Amino acid sequence: MADFRPAPELDVTEWLNTPEPLSLSALRGRVVVAEAFQMLCPGCAQMALPQLARVHEQFSRMGVAVLGLHTVFEHHEAQGPRSALEAFLREYRYSFPVGIDRPAPEGRGMPVTMAAYRMEGTPTLILIDRHGRLRRQAFGHVPDLQLGAEIMALIAERDAA
């Protein structure tokens, strides 16, 4: 499986819902499920984030790291403030860690991590294996049945290795 490229490191300015900042290098050895989202993106609020909460609920106890990545690439003044994101997470009772993607140097457009992954938009699901390799990147909705299987396939690689 040498054909999977390393997942680009997360370039995050602030972390919410976690006492310590996270990084992919520190998570090496664990399967990582990340969801890039914007709080005002309907597909994120209605589908992807409720699904991420289910993933967090089910797979955290199996050692999987589950996290959100707030990748604001439109409506910056509305979605940009940390206070807005905090209010959003509290209202929806999301308890997984969320990192705020570093804004582009020019202050507009796609933030740094989102650009490094060449994402097409939000929501984008990302699966990273125990070796830090990017195994799956999906723009839009992935059904629960399929997502459960994909995560478990990565978990099972430990025993096979």
Q: Which of 34, 18, 27 is nearest to 67 (CA)?
A: 34
Among 19, 42, 105, 107, binds a second copy (CB under 8 A): 42
Stretch that binds a second copy, among 8-16, 22-30, 127-135, 145-153 (CB under 8 A): 145-153
Number of residues that bind a second copy (CB under 8 A): 40
Residue 114 DSSP symbol:
H
Binding status of residue 148 toward a second copy by CB under 8 A: yes
Stretch that binds a second copy, among 2-10, 14-22, 55-63, 112-120 (CB under 8 A): 55-63
φ and ψ at residue 16, rounded to 5 degrees: -115, 160
Residue with tokens 């807005």: 84
Binding status of residue 16 toward a second copy by CB under 8 A: no
Rounded-to-integer distance, Cα 108 and Cα 106, Å = 6
Among 65, 66, 100, 147, binds a second copy (CB under 8 A): 147
Rounded-to-integer distance, Cα 88 and Cα 9, Å = 25
| Rounded CA Rg of the chain | 15
Binding site for a second copy (CB under 8 A): 39-42, 45-46, 51, 54-55, 58-59, 74-75, 77-79, 81, 83-84, 86-88, 91-92, 143-153, 155-157, 159-160
